[in-house]
């Protein structure tokens, strides 16, 4: 399996403010809406978004939590996400390359969206185990990935979700899939949305 995508690739694409079209593409807006709608609680305590890019999803997640750490390996992405979320004092945007660096403490929600395929399988395997141990007892990990293989990524989105399912060893509590995208949520505690909301 080839190595993780080099930092230079991201340095180059962030010559643009919105290299993935998050602010303009309906495809991306729909996918964010799917992810946000799938979250099994209205609000969460402590949240971590991995690979926050220019902060579009970050700004939406900010409205659903008490505190949010958003990380990205690219200094330019961190600057863009910081600007995008400046109205939200509870958002802390940090430059970090994972899994080499890792935030302290436990999280109620970890969002791993469109990042996994940039990691080689060995690194993603190590990352999966650390992600699991960074969740609180009722915490949720949500992963969302584009399925079509592309040249800069050592793995496909399908590979990523297959590996996560195998290595996490957690309950899959929700999921969505179509020809383009896979979205899965895993939790240590398999309580349903209605149970979490006290309806049953
Ligand atoms: C395609 S964007 C995803 C943005 C956002 N999560 C979303 O789904 O809308 C992927 C981001 O992950 C960052 N990234 C890639 N590998 C990373 C790593 N190992 N650690 C931290 N950030 C990484 C890239 O710099 C890029 O900004």
Q: Which domains does the chain have, with CATH numbers?
A: 7-196 (3.40.50.150)
Q: Is 167 exposed, middle or buried (0-12, 13-18, 19+ CB in 10 A)?
A: middle
CA atoms within 13 A on the CB side of 121: 11
Q: How confident is the model at residue 2 (pLDDT cuts 50, 70, 90)?
A: low
* Pocket lining for ligand 1, CB < 6 angstroms: 10, 20, 22, 51-53, 57, 71-74, 77, 96-98, 113-115, 118-119
Question: Would you state the pLDDT for residue 1?
Answer: 44
pLDDT at 3 over 90: no
**Which amino acid residue places its CA nearest to atom 1 of ligand 1?**
114
Model confidence pLDDT, tens digit, residues 153-183: 999 999 999 999 999 999 999 999 999 999 9
Model confidence pLDDT, tens digit, residues 94-125: 999 999 999 999 999 999 999 999 999 999 99
pLDDT at 142 over 80: yes
């Amino acid at each position: 399996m080839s190595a993780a995508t080099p930092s230079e690739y991201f340095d180059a694409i962030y010559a643009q403010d919105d290299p993935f079209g998050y602010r303009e593409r309906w495809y991306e807006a729909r996918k964010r809406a799917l992810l946000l709608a799938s979250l099994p609680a209205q609000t969460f305590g402590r949240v971590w978004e991995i690979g926050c890019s220019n902060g579009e999803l970050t700004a939406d997640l900010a409205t659903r939590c008490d505190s949010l750490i958003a990380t990205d390996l690219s200094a330019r992405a961190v600057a863009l996400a910081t600007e995008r979320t400046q109205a939200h004092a509870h958002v802390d945007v940090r430059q970090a390359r994972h899994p080499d660096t890792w935030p302290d403490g436990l999280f109620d929600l970890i969002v791993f969206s469109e990042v996994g395929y940039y990691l080689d399988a060995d690194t993603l395997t190590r990352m999966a185990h650390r992600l699991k141990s960074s969740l609180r007892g009722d915490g949720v990990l949500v992963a969302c990935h584009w399925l079509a293989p592309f040249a800069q990524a050592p793995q496909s989105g399908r590979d990523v979700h297959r590996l996560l399912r195998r290595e996490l060893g957690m309950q899959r509590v929700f999921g969505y899939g179509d020809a383009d995208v896979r979205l899965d949520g895993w939790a240590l505690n398999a309580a349903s949305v209605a149970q979490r909301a006290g309806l049953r």
